Amino acid sequence: MSSLSWIRSDAEKGFGSSKNYPCEFSPLPQDASEPDSDSNPLEADEPKRLGPKDFFFGFLLVMLTLPNLLIITHMLSTPPGGPMLNPDTFSVSNFSISDSKLAATWNADFAFRSSLHHHEYDYSSVTGTIYFKDIKALNVLSVASAKPFVLGFKERKTVHMKFATIGEEIEQQKIEYSVLDELSKDRETGTARFSLKVDVRYKSKVWGTYFPNVLPYTDHYCWNLVVRFEADTGNGRLIDGGHKYCPFSPW
């Protein structure tokens, strides 16, 4: 019997018989990660659309948050009230120029104030400079500093500064001869004009906590001062003056 006949006989016995037994197959196991054939992959990946309710709640959140941010920003950026020069306390004494040397003493009181309930200011540096006429490096006559201090909530504090030039050689090297010559001529007329500049450096506290700023704030305040001298003495008093523009300062 040939091989072909043998295969045919086996088929007639098992599969080709009149009983026609059905073939049963067990389904292959499916991976849990595979998507279900009945689900639509396009529907699963489609993002959720925002409705009117979502836009309403988003708008409400912005309206509730923005005013608070503006209030906090205003609180942290509000500077203190600048120092006020009391004209009654400004005076010049022992003013004299001899042998191209200047000797004089200027006294001034400054009122620092904080008009805000929640602010406290820590002044680390307060420096004042007296100039002859305009604020220029060559016109510097005397420099003074005040001790560091803290200005509390709605507090007012008076800071006294004394500028003294006693006519020593080391001080006179900073004053040009042309400046002293012009100042001496003004002194003879009985009236001289000066400028005063106060540089302050401070940090701000809000409800007792420093705002995390990297560098302290710096402010500059300038005044124009007109002093009248007594005829026979070296004393003078302020007769006119007021705030003036402060030129740029490097610090």
CA atoms within 13 A on the CB side of 68: 5
> How does pLDDT run across 177-192, given as a tens digit for each residue?
889 899 999 999 999 9
Q: What is the pLDDT of residue 67?
A: 54
Q: What is the pLDDT of residue 66?
A: 57
Q: What is the pLDDT of residue 154?
A: 79
Q: What is the pLDDT of residue 211?
A: 54
Number of domains in the chain: 1
Domain that holds residue 140: 1-251
Region 24-52 average pLDDT: 55
Point out the least confidently predicted range of 141-145, 163-167, 196-200: 163-167
User: What share of the chain in percent tops pLDDT 70?
Assistant: 59
Answer yes or no: are the C-beta atoms of 167 and 219 closer than 8 Å.
Answer: no
Query: Residue 6 — pLDDT band, cuts 50, 70, 90?
Result: very low
Distance CA 139, CA 137 (A): 5
> Which candidate, 162, 167, 225, places its Cα nearest to that of 193?
225
pTM: 0.65
Q: What is the pLDDT of residue 195?
A: 95
Region 50-77 average pLDDT: 61
Show Cβ contacts of residue 240 under 8 Å, excluding neighbours closer than 6 positions. Answer: 225, 226
Region 232-237 average pLDDT: 88
Q: For residue 224, what is the domain's CATH number?
A: 2.60.40.10
- Which one is predicted more confidently, 121 or 27? 121
Q: What is the pLDDT of residue 8?
A: 46
Work out the mean pLDDT of the chain and round it to a whole number: 75
Query: Among 53-57, 105-109, 119-123, 214-218, which range has the highest average pLDDT?
Result: 105-109
Asked if residue 87 has pLDDT above 50, the reply is yes
Strands 101-113 and 91-98: antiparallel
